[in-house]
Structure 1
Amino acid sequence: MNVKGKTALITGASRGIGKAIALEFARQGIKHLLLVARDRQKLADVAQEIEAKGVKVTTLSVDLSQSSAINIAIAQAWRTHRPIHLLVNCAGVAHQAPFLETKLPKVEEEITTNLLGMMTITRLLAKRMARQKEGTIVNVSSLMGKVAAPTMSTYSATKFAIVGFTQALRSELASHNIQVVTLLPTLTDTDMARGLKLFRWVMPMTPEKVAQALVSGLYNNSGEILVGWQSYLATWCQRIFPQLFQRLMKLSAPSM
């Protein structure tokens, strides 16, 4: 898929990977961006930066934990701005703690935002894409959707779930001419990651590199896009040497 001349909706677009994807799409000649996030002011700042590049921008201040708000926002967006060719589900939260010390409200927030909110907006847009017989859906998982990380159990669970959901959806929507893609970045230098204790030996990559990898993967019609050599090394080691890799993960985990 070439994003030039297309319309895309990106969640989590006010910062981090979502913002970087929006900016990269603008550089690639996208026609219209619909940016979704909770923070209205940050969305406005991103929109101003992108509009300076000559791209049309619409901002939608929506809390993805509120299904009724998502329904209203997507119905209005589709009615006003259709066709929407591309959905990028990038919104997410991460909390770090040993599972036995995890607080239930934080578990619920991760599951609601990372998984249920993503599924809700995907369902609403996929139905409409199916009627137009065209669309691409990108679900942003993580390397932790392939390799579970100590102290990040709930986050890992949601990211594993995104991988499985995307694989199932890819088969279901193929007959509607809808491509479904998983994006799996390694640790990325974002505001969210800066609030975490990092694993030893892991080198964060930039959001811009993730965005560039996504554009390349879309152009090559990749179903699954692993980002960064660390992602390839980790998944390969877990597959070939699972017990050794588990010991390495234990050694690299931060003390909490």
Structure 2
Amino acid sequence: MKLQGKTALVTGASRGIGQAIAFELAKHGIKRLLILARNEQKLAAMAIDLAAMGIEVIPLVVDLTDRVRVNVVISQAWRDYGQIHLLVNCAGVAYQAPFLQSKLPHVQEEIAINLLGMYTVTRTIARRMVSQREGTIVNVASLMGKVAAPTMSTYSATKFAILGFTQALRGELASHNVQVMSLLPTLTDTDMVRDLQLFRGLSPMSPQRVAQALIRGIERNDREIMIGWQSHLAVWSNYLVPRLVERAIQFAAPQPSRDRAWLRSLGARG
């Protein structure tokens, strides 16, 4: 897909990877950019910076858990601003906790935003892309959608689900000239990740590197976009020697049984 002169919608655009993707798209010739998130102040500030780069920017303030409003806002944006050629589903949340210490409201929020929110946006956009017989959909998953991690069970589950959804959708929409691909970043230096206990031996990559990889993948029409040789090694190793990979991840993961202070803090936040 060529980005020059096109219109894109990025969800989760007010921070982290979504924000980096928005600015990278602006650098590569996007004509109109719709940025969607819950935080009105952050979107307004972003819109000023993006407009200074010479593109048209439309902030869409909406909570993805409000499915009715999502449909209304996106339908109105399509009507007011024309066809959306590229959708990047980047909105997501993550809560880290041992499964036995996990909190149901956190689990529900991860599923509601990471999976159902993405589904709602995609359904609204995909129908219109099919009618126009043109479009590209990118679903931002994670390396944890290929190799699950202890203390991140629900987050991993949503990312596995996103990859399955993406693969199924790719097959359904291909005949309508709508491309569907996935982006699988590994640990990335965002404010969300800074609240997590990191796995041993892992250093976060920058959101800008993830965004740049996405642009290359869109231009090549890649099915899956993985970043860095470590990600490819982890996926292939998990396929060839899954038990070894599982042991390595268990060793690298935070050890709640050995960290009583962390367990106490989880209980205090309950």
Would you say same fold, with TM above 0.5?
yes
Q: Look up the match of 1:164.
A: 164
**In structure 2, how many angstroms separate the alpha carbons of the residues matched to 1:49 and 1:74?**
23
Could you give the per-residue CA deviations for residues 50-69 of structure 1, whole angstroms, max 9, x where no partner exists?
11100110000000011011
User: What amino acid does structure 1 have at the position aligned with 2:254?
Assistant: P
Shift of 1:239: 1.0
User: What amino acid does structure 2 have at the position aligned with 1:80?
Assistant: D
What secondary structure sits across from 2:109 in the alignment?
helix
Q: Percent identity?
A: 63
Q: Look up the match of 1:64.
A: 64
What runs of 5+ residues in structure 2 fail to find an aligned partner? 257-270
Shift of 1:139: 0.1
Shift of 1:233: 1.4
Q: Look up the match of 1:243.
A: 243
Q: Look up the match of 1:214.
A: 214
Following TM superposition, where does structure 1 have runs of at least 4 consecutive aligned residues deviating by more than 4 angstroms?
none
**In structure 2, how many angstroms separate the alpha carbons of the residues matched to 1:203 and 1:2?**
32
Q: Look up the match of 1:102.
A: 102
What runs of 5+ residues in structure 1 fail to find an aligned partner? none
**In structure 1, how many angstroms separate the alpha carbons of the residues matched to 2:120 and 2:83?**
19
Q: Look up the match of 2:141.
A: 141
Shift of 1:29: 1.0
**In structure 1, how many angstroms separate the alpha carbons of the residues matched to 2:65 and 2:229?**
33
Kindly report which structure 2 residues correspond to 1:169-208, keeping only aligned pairs within 5 A, or say none. Answer: 169-208=169-208
What secondary structure sits across from 2:123 in the alignment?
helix
**In structure 1, how many angstroms separate the alpha carbons of the residues matched to 2:75 and 2:236?**
42
**In structure 1, how many angstroms separate the alpha carbons of the residues matched to 2:11 and 2:230?**
26
What secondary structure sits across from 1:71 in the alignment?
helix
Q: Look up the match of 2:265.
A: none
**In structure 2, how many angstroms separate the alpha carbons of the residues matched to 1:203 and 1:4?**
34
**In structure 2, how many angstroms separate the alpha carbons of the residues matched to 1:229 and 1:254?**
23
Shift of 1:255: 2.3
Kindly report which structure 2 residues correspond to 1:2-151, keeping only aligned pairs within 5 A, or say none. Answer: 2-151=2-151
Could you give the per-residue CA deviations for residues 100-147 of structure 1, whole angstroms, max 9, x where no partner exists?
111100000000000001001100000000000000000000000000
What secondary structure sits across from 1:197 in the alignment?
coil
Shift of 1:81: 1.1
